[in-house]
């Protein structure tokens, strides 16, 4: 897979990971008369993120706009035909977070309604409170790791997209400039356990106290083996947005540590 940065299939798989981290699938109504469908990715307004979202839009569709206050850049799809095409992408490369799985399931349920527009709106309003109640079989960390043994599997690109949204490359100046990598997630502990295995970390995700009703977990690593694995992964399966700049600094410092 040469030059993955411009490979349409890589971008689709990466997109799924990005949606799992920072995207949302929305179903609303227009004045109670008809259903409206929308997909959104919201990121910090940085040149690298704008370039990445435009790259995604060129492959998948949608529009890229900067919020009026200039703080965030948005990728937005509200064209029903494009949304149907994106659903096909999700069928081929399924989301892995419970949150996005539930949103996608609810979207599909609403897209499949065959009643009058007003009746469809009524159904959506009645059942949207159950959107996150749908039960999905949890894919274990070991099963996810088994998938990753196939280098052609979409999960490698998914990891890069998810990291673009949720990952953090840190260089701690106050502790001998030791680089570390961390990623946090609500509820989906098995995903973080998988990433710990994938990156050969000697630490496991830990719960972090939160005022939210959701359980928040943080995976953080600075071990030598994991630094090597992290650098190898993102060299092969590139980040496409602002996290790429963070990774380049991280990699540069990590290489100094690895040499010494």
Domains in the chain: boundaries: 4-95+97-133, 141-259
* pTM of the full structure: 0.94
- Whether the per-residue pLDDT at 212 is higher than 80: the answer is no
pLDDT-based confidence at residue 1 (cuts at 50, 70, 90): very low
State pLDDT tens for residues 6-16. 999 999 999 99
State pLDDT tens for residues 30-53. 999 999 999 999 999 999 999 999
pLDDT-based confidence at residue 173 (cuts at 50, 70, 90): low
218: how many CB neighbours lie within 10 A of its CB? 14
Asked if 25 and 75 count as a contact pair (C-beta separation under 8 A), the reply is: no
- Whether the per-residue pLDDT at 91 is higher than 70: the answer is yes
Between 53-62, 164-173, 231-240, the lowest mean confidence (pLDDT) is in 164-173
Identical fold between 4-95+97-133 and 141-259:
yes
Per-residue exposure over 163-172, b if at least 16 CB sit within 10 Å of its own CB, e if not: bbbbbebeee
Q: Which fold has domain 141-259?
A: Endonuclease I-creI (3.10.28)
Q: Which fold has domain 4-95+97-133?
A: Endonuclease I-creI (3.10.28)
- Tokens standing for 99? 């949150």
**Average pLDDT, rounded, for the chain:** 93
């Amino acid at each position: 897979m040469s030059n993955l940065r411009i490979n349409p299939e890589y971008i689709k798989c990466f997109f799924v990971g990005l949606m799992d981290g920072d995207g949302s699938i929305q179903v609303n109504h227009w004045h109670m008369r008809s259903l409206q469908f929308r997909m959104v990715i919201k990121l910090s307004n940085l040149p690298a993120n704008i370039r990445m979202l435009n790259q995604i839009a060129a492959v998948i569709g949608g529009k890229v706009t900067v919020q009026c206050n200039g703080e965030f850049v948005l990728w937005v799809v509200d064209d029903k035909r494009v949304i149907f095409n994106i659903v096909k992408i999700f069928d081929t490369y399924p989301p892995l977070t419970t949150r996005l799985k539930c949103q996608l399931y609810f979207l599909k349920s609403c897209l499949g309604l065959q009643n009058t527009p007003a009746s469809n709106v009524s159904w959506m309003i009645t059942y949207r409170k159950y959107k996150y109640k749908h039960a999905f079989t949890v894919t274990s960390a070991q099963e996810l790791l088994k998938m990753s043994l196939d280098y052609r599997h979409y999960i490698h690109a998914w990891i890069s997209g998810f990291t673009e949204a949720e990952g953090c490359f840190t260089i701690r100046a106050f502790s001998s400039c030791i680089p570390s990598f961390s990623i946090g997630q609500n509820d989906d502990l098995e995903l973080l356990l998988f990433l710990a295995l994938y990156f050969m970390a000697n630490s496991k995700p830990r719960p972090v106290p939160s005022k939210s009703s959701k359980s928040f977990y943080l995976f953080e690593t600075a071990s030598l083996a994991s630094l090597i694995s992290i650098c190898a992964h993102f060299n092969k399966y590139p980040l496409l947005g602002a996290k790429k700049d963070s990774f380049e600094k991280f990699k540069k410092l990590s290489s100094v540590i690895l040499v010494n």
